[in-house]
Amino acid sequence: MLIATIFKSHPPEPVDSHHRRAAAVRNAPEKRPQFHIKNRISLIGFLGQNATTYTANNASFTVLSLATKSSYKDKKSGEYKGHTEWHRCIVWGKLSEYVKTLTKGAHLAIDGELRSRERVDKKTSAKQRVWEVRVASILKLDRAEKAAPEEAEEATPDTNQDVPE
């Protein structure tokens, strides 16, 4: 039994070049398809409340509440039905400083990874699984704020004036 195991792990060397190539093909590692596994999530939605900053273990982080909406057509009634999903987004580091300035209603595109953790409910002492988005990048999608009509008139040159010759 022991000899067979050693023989399997160290096959005898072939004598000629043809046998060497055949042995190399036989002993080549099996090629498995490579899957690119990524934990990535991209969300586009609106901020449900102002960003909130917390500190834990001498590290500060900011929490966002992002609302995304999806809709579908009900087959029976023919009406469109909407569903709003709320996402808890955690922002760390320098990006957290920028996020502090965001206010309720801001239109955002967020990229990050989906994370889960267990927490214990203080009231019932039951374990709960919480899903969060660990934010890697944020893009603010809001349009530029419109200027007041008076400011817009001042900024626009008057083309009706006579041009001196």
Domain that holds residue 103: 41-140
Decide if 116 is inside a domain. Answer: yes
CATH value at residue 111: 2.40.50.140
pLDDT confidence band for 32 (50 / 70 / 90): low
The token pair that represents 8 in the structure block: 């399997």
pLDDT number for residue 20: 54
- Does 48 fall in a domain? yes
Q: Does residue 53 lie within any of the structural domains?
A: yes
Answer whether 0.75 is exceeded by the pTM. no
Give the residue with greater pLDDT, 105 vs 28. 105
Task: Return all residues near 27 (Cβ < 8 A) that are at least 6 apart.
Answer: 11
The mean predicted confidence, pLDDT, of the chain is 78
- Residue 61 domain-assigned? yes
pLDDT for residue 9 is more than 50: no
Q: For residues 96 and 140, is the Cβ–Cβ distance under 8 A?
A: no
More confident residue, 75 or 35: 75
b/e for 74-89, b at 16 or more Cβ within 10 A? eeeeeeeeeeeeebeb
Residue 81 carries which side chain, given as an amino acid letter?
K
13 lies in a domain?
A: no
Look at residue 37 and tell me whether its pLDDT is greater than 70.
yes
Let me know: does 66 contact 106? Beta carbons within 8 Å: no
Count of domains for the chain: 1
Q: Is residue 129 part of a domain?
A: yes
Asked whether residue 159 is domain-assigned, the answer is no
